[in-house]
Chain A
Amino acid sequence: MRPRVDVLVIGAGLAGLMAAWQAAVAGCRVRVITRGPGALFWHAGCVDVLGYAAQDTERPVAAPRDALLHLVNANPAHPYARVGLEGVETALSALQQVCEAAGYPLRGDLSHNWLLPSAVGAFRPTCLAPETMVSGDLARRDPLLIVGFEGMLDFYPELVADNLAEQERPARSVRLDLPSLRERRQLTPVTLAQLFEAPEFRRQVAEALRPKLGRAARVGFPAVLGVHRPLEVKQDLEAKLGREVFEIPTLPPSVPGMRLYTILVEAVRQAGGDVFTGMEAVRAEAENGRVQAVFTEAAARLNPHRAHAFVLATGGLLGGGIVADADGHLREVILGLPVQGPESQTKWFRQEFLASEDHPVYAAGVAVDERFRPVGAKGVPLYTNLFVAGMTLAGDDVIRRRALDGVAVATGYAVGQHAARSVQEAMR
């Protein structure tokens, strides 16, 4: 059997796409397969690198670099420790470059976390944020106006403003009832984002909004300011309103996440790779310590994907890459890799749902060696050409730590290069 691709990446979230992009840039023929484009469509579009440190879960991290240093020294099995601080930095700036080139700059660096409002007006510490969001920084205390749209699903400007005001950020809300929206049967974030691409719609919005601006120094919209040219939309609105404008991430489908998805998929394709959706990986075949093929569900039969190297970026417990059996035993779904985590269901959670400590189940994942290859009990890699990235990795509750995206970007980037190297070795 002759593999049609060099690297097969399973999963098209941040980790999978970063890995695919890097492997493709390194000259490999890459194919990404994914069940649905899920993860990034749920994504706020920011890169949280480290929002809360283990030793202080109440106060957000102000400077991720220092906290990271502490983290990797304290926990050498942490995914960040495997990549190293320098590796994290390289991966983040690679992502920043590709976004910048696409006209959608991500602002920030490891020296500082932004504090941005969430869809319910909570404070969200995050390291990299799209330019369209940074004026929402809550380190500033100048007054905000939060805008919503009558008929838009799942965005409540009053809630955002009330919660911000309670946290001593002067904020008011307004809901726009635009005639041009009334005739639309449904207003998903994507529908609105498409409308915002049209100058005429922006003019209507600005006109309706101008009398309501009051003392607000900046105006927060749900993150629907255009699909393709958000910067242009933001700048146009700023010019029309005479105020700074920013976006607040919404519930899924999340437009800023989709923008990242589009940028990364395009980067993979530009580098010669393919991305296919609607493909669910169900099992794999291995021989002599190497994965030979991964099979996806297809019409009438399973479809084999042979490759020299494989990247598992299936999103762990969140993404369905790890599931629990009826008896509470955790299982990696494609290869049946051993999962590190609580051994029985009674140990998954702490007594209190909102406990300040981590729930053990969320740190569950696949243990890997220094090249991100899954290992067995003795620390020996189970397969020499299989690499794991993102949420599937063991080592930390990255959700609670607000480190999900940073881990995905950093490990995805590193794994892409490990996979490419392993292909080169196999060819030799």
Chain B
Amino acid sequence: MNTWPVELTLDNCIKCTICVTACPVAAVTDRFPGPKYEGPQAARFRHAGQPTPDHSVDYCSGCRVCNMVCPTGVRIAEINARARASMVAQGALSWRTRLRNNVLARPETLGRWGYRVAPLLNALLHSTWARAAAHVLLGIDRRAPLPTLVREPFTMWFHGRPTPRGAKRRVIYFHGCSTQYYEPRVGRAAVRLLEAHGFEVIVPPQTCCGLPLLSNGEFEAARALYRDNVRRLVGYARQGYPIVGTSTSCTLTLKEEAPELLDIHDDDARLLAERTFDLSEFLVSLAEEGESTPVDLQPVARRALYHAPCQYRAHRLGAPSLELLRRIPELDLVESRADCCGIAGTYGFKREKYDIAMRVGRPLFDQVRESGVSVVICDSETCRWQLAHATGVPAVHPVELLAKAYGV
């Protein structure tokens, strides 16, 4: 719903430096001078067809905290993402870095083949020597929280079960790569919850949303994936079905990131964006339309910390997940006060950025430890992995606790 083209917003900058004081990366490293300098200021020196002058923009994690605090609506994170893309296009990153970035940014490629040999592959990928090799040769930090592949991808479970009957309305579920190959439990909970609300859930063929590629400046590869998803999903959007996702970064990409960064503003892209919802956003809107929860929520007697990931706040919806979680009886909720956990998608996996990411997340990690919670709740997959890795406290998606409260 942005009315301004990204590049034009830089003229709105009044140099107040508020973004610099909010940027979690600039706060912990001198390698990154901060959003004001990288965004609206450096953008004046970047011209089409000329070499990009400053490479420190690659240290922007894309967390969008700056966008959220800028009083004049400068779209700093997008300006930075485009600057990174022109660095990539101009060959300013070494082939090794790009290879590493591409390995990290294509979770689907590994997942699609890997699940068949999951135990073997997991053992291999998580072994000390493989991590050491990836660390040295590729630049994937040996300490970073790599997820574990499952043997039964989400869609295998989904298509392998009998279709529940009697639903009066339909919803399309966008699972994303992580639910498909690493955390199908999130998708299972989402499907059960939607079915409890009387929906028939449809899971059409889909590809990676392309966000990891976008945030690594690999715009052309991302464009192909995004186009593919539009082609596969727009028909449902046209029929008026809501397209609901549990990964906040996938839904944000379909809603806004991809069309905006890639400058794809045709009718199909717009239609898909308008019909895409985050699951909590969707459930809250049902309640707002006067629908009551189909069942009495059962108590979940736990103390839990909820952290709204950057990519969720960037939807600019407030905190719908929190609104839902607050309805669960006996759930003792602690709210995160931190802006970012540090991982920012693929950022914290990179050797040169791992320490920065851990420093960014420190206030949040401390809060998790000090609050004595037994579980962390977060809508975004890489953030969950980072939080569990840094604190040792297990991390779940809100829908998992909701499913428990719904008794499904």
Contacting pair B18 A299 (CB below 8 A): no
Interface residues on B, range: 35 or more
Contact digits for B117-139, partner A, Cβ 8 Å, 1 yes 0 no: 00000000000000000000000
Contact digits for B241-276, partner A, Cβ 8 Å, 1 yes 0 no: 000000000001001100000000000000001101
Question: Who on chain A is nearest to B254 by CB?
Answer: A300
Which residues on the B side are within 8 Å of A269 (C-beta)?
335
Which residues on the B side are within 8 Å of A38 (C-beta)?
16, 18, 71
Which residues on the B side are within 8 Å of A302 (C-beta)?
1
- The one of B33, B71, B252 that contacts A35, using a Cβ cutoff of 8 Å: B71
Contacting pair B16 A42 (CB below 8 A): yes
Contacting pair A36 B255 (CB below 8 A): no
Per the bound structure, the CA–CA distance linking A41 and B70 in Å amounts to 11
Which residues on the B side are within 8 Å of A252 (C-beta)?
16-18
In chain A between 173 and 227, which residues have their CB closer than 8 angstroms to a CB of chain B?
183-186, 188-191, 194
Mostly helix, strand, loop or mixed at chain A's interface? loop
Question: Who on chain B is nearest to A190 by CB?
Answer: B21
Per the bound structure, the CA–CA distance linking A252 and B288 in Å amounts to 40
Per the bound structure, the CA–CA distance linking A395 and B289 in Å amounts to 40
Q: Does A301 contact B (CB under 8 A)?
A: yes
Contact digits for B294-329, partner A, Cβ 8 Å, 1 yes 0 no: 000000000000000000011111110011000000
Which of B1, B71, B273 gathers most chain A CB within 10 Å?
B71
Per the bound structure, the CA–CA distance linking A183 and B30 in Å amounts to 9
Q: Does B73 contact A (CB under 8 A)?
A: yes
Which residues on the A side are within 8 Å of B71 (C-beta)?
35-38, 41, 320
Contact A299:B314 (CB < 8 A) given known A4-B323, A277-B69, A280-B73: yes
Which residues on the B side are within 8 Å of A303 (C-beta)?
316-318
Contacting pair B316 A253 (CB below 8 A): no
Contact A300:B318 (CB < 8 A) given known A4-B323, A41-B16: no
3 nearest A-B residue pairs (beta carbon): A278-B68, A36-B71, A38-B71
| CB pairs A–B below 8 angstroms (28 shown) | A2-B288, A4-B323, A35-B73, A36-B68, A36-B71, A37-B18, A37-B71, A38-B71, A153-B17, A189-B21, A253-B18, A253-B20, A258-B21, A274-B318, A277-B69, A278-B67, A278-B313, A278-B316, A279-B318, A280-B73, A296-B316, A297-B1, A298-B1, A299-B252, A299-B317, A302-B1, A303-B317, A304-B288
**Which A residues form the contact surface with B (CB < 8 A)?**
1-4, 31, 33, 35-38, 41-42, 153, 183-186, 188-191, 194, 252-253, 258, 269, 274, 276-280, 296-304, 306, 320
**Which B residues form the contact surface with A (CB < 8 A)?**
1-3, 16-18, 20-21, 27, 30, 33-34, 67-73, 252, 255-256, 273-274, 276, 284, 287-290, 313-319, 322-323, 335
Given contacts A37-B18, A185-B33, 9 further A-B pairs with CB under 8 A are A4-B288, A31-B318, A36-B18, A42-B16, A188-B17, A253-B17, A253-B18, A258-B21, A299-B256
